[in-house]
Amino acid sequence: MRAYDIIFKKRWNEILSSSEIDFMVKGFVKGVIPNYQMSAFLMAVAINGMNTDETLSLTKSFVDSGDIIDLSSIPGIKVDKHSSGGVGDTTTLVVAPIVAAAEIPVAKMSGRGLGHSGGTIDKLESIPGFRTKISEDDFIKQVKDIGIAIVGKIGNVVPADKLIYALRDVTATVDSLPLIASSIMSKKIAGGSDAIVLDVKVGSGAFIEDEKEVEKLAKIMVNIGKGFRKKMRAVITDMSQPLGNAIGNSLEVEEAIKILKGNGSSDLREVCINIAANMLLSGQKVKDLKNGIDLTEEILTSGRGLQKFKQLISHQGGNSNIVEDLSLLPKAQYEDKLTADSNGFIKKIDCKQIGIASIILGAGREKKEDIIDSSVGIVMEKRLGDNVKMKEKICTIYGNDFSKIEEAKKILKKTIEISEKRVSKPILIKKIID
């Protein structure tokens, strides 16, 4: 078998066998297949796509390239979730404690933010003392003890994806649906959970803005999961504006706590309730989605979700007093505000640009080696469809550098459009695929 012949086949849109795909992945990980041949292979896939069997085989090769976390010693159905990324997407910090409070084990590996999209690990690390690096044994023990753990990568999970993604990033092949699906699902499969709920974003702040393409991606990922005998559900949710009011790491932790206390952004709350309800259904805790929503709301109202979040923080070395005293979270030195320059209704919010403005402040990374400033960010006071008056505050900007605040403010001014006509609010839950 030769890499040349496999590339040639895919170039002419022929179907590859599982052994041919495995040969390419394993050969590249071992260093036998050079970058230029893998790049050619990725471009052929990006142009011609892959069918269901090919995509499943590619995912399997990714999974088999490294460790698979064994969660079998944890009693019950383990349920994981994945968000395809976005701005102000604080769902994991709210949803995971709710589901764990319902006695469904949540053993979650999460990632860092890159580009305009924030990362769960960065948010958790804004909590003083919180450890996101723990051993696999301690990870499993913690889930057994309190029903929840959220950590960064454990062991050598899916090394093929890391190596291949680095090539995709520089060869214009990032937005290929089979490559996206295999990348996401290989990490979820290797994470070892029995059921997976996908929160797939669509809109200006998502990696894919077209709703039909997002639905196609969701279906591919659901089919991959089922191919590995996982219980699968995908929820397509709106990302045409920041999901919550807060964008920035400690600011998002603060908002997550507010949601768990019954306050915070109504949009973030609605999406969290729906994601949690789908996880409860996947974990066979409830018989249908309505019961899942009812149970989720009861856990929020009773404060059990908040207590589980506090327990999570304590067990991973964090200062759980932040739950009662938000001033213990990192705070920026300075703040500024963006005000409306006319009367009307918020017509458009370029969500991606808001994410970029937060990066300029220091809340995110353009490169992996960039250092995060946990204290900075943006808090939205107005959302799509809201009525605004001249000089009324649209958002507050928090920073530690006046020049960066001014630069971010210039971007924000261009990013928000006001219309004289009334504007309808977006539908948050677009579709559920199972």
Give the catalytic positions in this structure.
82, 161, 168, 183, 187
Q: Is residue 332 within a helix (H) or strand (E), and if so which, with residue range?
A: none
CB atoms within 10 A of CB 342: 11
Q: Tell me 322's DSSP state.
A: G
Is the distance from CB of 285 to CB of 298 less than 8 angstroms? no
Which tokens in the block code for residue 54?
Answer: 């090919």
Give the Cα separation of 190 and 166 in Å (integer).
Answer: 20
Whether residue 179 contacts residue 64, with contact meaning beta carbons closer than 8 Å, is answered with no
Whether 148 contacts 312, CB under 8 Å: yes
3-state SS class at 413: helix
End-to-end CA distance of the chain: 38
Number of Cβ within 10 Å of residue 262's Cβ equals 13
DSSP class per residue in 239-289? -SS-SSSEESHHHHHHHHHHHHTT-S-HHHHHHHHHHHHHHHHHTTSSSSH
Kindly give, in sequence order, each residue whose CB lies less than 8 Å from that of residue 299, ignoring residues fewer than 6 positions away.
98, 101, 102, 305
Separation between Cα atoms, residue 411 and residue 199, nearest integer Å: 28
Cβ atoms of 140 and 191 within 8 Å: the answer is no
| Whole-number Å distance between alpha carbons of 185 and 198 | 10
Which H helix or E strand runs over 15? none
